[in-house]
Structure 1
Amino acid sequence: MRQRLAAYIADYILIYLIVVAVYFIPGLFGINLTEDTGRANGISILALFGYMTVAQAAYHTTVGKYVMGLEVGSSMSSRSYPSFMQILRRETIGRFGSLLFFGIGYWRVNQHPQRQAWSDKIAKTVVRARPTNSSIKKALTAFVCAALVVDVAVTAWGYHLKDKQERYDALVKNLEAASTEVGNLRGSINELMQRDPKDFEELQSNMQELIGIADKCFRAIDRVQSLYRLAANENLYTSDAEGMQAEVAQQVYEIRRQQIEKQREEATLILQYDPTTSDWEALQANLRILDSDIAGLEHQASQKLATLGIK
């Protein structure tokens, strides 16, 4: 039983290598087969079935069985080796039946006189010892070991890429949410700045509301910037171009912060203005300076956004 299990593991290592190749080669041409789990499982099952059936029908053994000194023979006295149909029954109905209830069909192999599993009984086959060429056996053993190393390395790399992709997807989702929040808050600030109040008291009320929104916007911009820093620190960008675009976007958000700071300053000046003691002309002059600064910052942001193809 241990020899058969070891042989099956060796064969599965080779099958896994074949499946990896099936996915890797299309990936070189930009064809992603890994997104469909059902297709992935189907390819693995077909590869295992095809390999086991063809190898045992043609050579009465597999790489794993040969390494362990085993072959598949016929339990019928009329022939030494099984026919293709026997192998087909063994690898379909027999294999399925043996695997039922946690592999019950393999449990009592050692107690059977001919060491038959359910799959062997159904197909009228028997797994028996066979002579092997020591040089071929060593070569195949080395090949299986090399395949195992490749399988482990590729699997580890695959999990790494999957984890990176999941973190990237989460980053994009969070970045979109934070960016949308910044945009909405900036829209509210601009709407308050452009609103036509009926009197100065209402203007001050609007500015009080603006300060609260501006503080929320600062926090939202902080979240956006922290996400960009996270992406850079964890090397989540999919290309150098995307990384450069992110750097420009960070610069734009910093400009937006400065704009909002200027708008907040305007709101503070208006709130601090007292018609009975303050200088109205001085207030207007300060507001014009801040408006000019805001317009200059808007021009800077537009220039940087133009490099990203955004108006």
Structure 2
Amino acid sequence: MEKKTKIFLIAFVVAIVVLVGAHAIYNRVQIANAPTVQELAEAYPWTVPDDWFKTDTITLKGRIEGYDAEEFGFTSMKCSYDDVFENDRSTVLVMGIAADGTFCKKFLASYPMQQVFYTTDSNVSFHAIPFFARPGETIDVTVRKGSLGQYECIYNNGSSKDVERWLRTSEELAKQFSPLWHFEGTFDDANKVADLVWKMVMSKLQKIIRSEGYTPMEVQLALADVQARFGQDYIGCIVKQADALVNYKKCDSLGCAEILDSAEWKKYNDCKTYAPLRRIDFDNPLLFASQHFFFLQ
């Protein structure tokens, strides 16, 4: 019996190793065959409305079911809001939560935008209300516990309801960008990592589009959003490497900077270094809708 058990365990371990290896190979194939922005855009055509850019008020209102200020740990939520036509820096919007859980916030916008009201003080499994709205819209949201005990946002109307699948799943792509956050090395190696990250993102996005049944509008917004997020994280990665090339010290009681690697510093100032940014279509008006676009100005 002991011998049979050992044989079974060995066979089980071998099967696990084979499955893990097969999964890794499958992932590599999927990444290698990742679609381009053009391929996905052409597969899900959608025309940007003529009135996409206009200035009007956006209203976000709704209710958190079962809200208790002491239990939840917060009485307001905030949003770092950027309107590239109106502000040179972020404006922090604060939305109060009434004792009965209702909330309402109005603000002026020049174009549709994906944004989020959030709190860092929550004692429960609820931290944010992501939304998408066009100027002139009133978006109504109900926050309630789902079947698994996690709070979820139910969009009752408007553009947020039209793109609720995208709002619910867009953050699933965030971890695909993590290699850029943690990278340390040369600019050439950073670009290699950026190219791999881009393929990982596009492969993952294609899976989400299919599994969630994105509408053409959601696909086009998601494509613009990943481009803006990629640009933001890539530039952040490059600036981080550049900072590591400078040694700041005192020179005759004054501050001065010493360049530690002149060859790398030269690449930092060479526009050819930034080749990965070619993946971003800066003529796409949908970029404005992404909350990450502000960093690309």
TM-score of the alignment, normalized to the shorter chain, above 0.5: no
* Higher share of residues assigned strand: 2
Which structure has the larger Rg over C-alpha atoms? 1
TM-score, normalization by structure 1: 0.24
Larger relative contact order (CA 8 Å, sep ≥ 6): 2
Relative to the length of structure 2, the TM-score reads 0.25
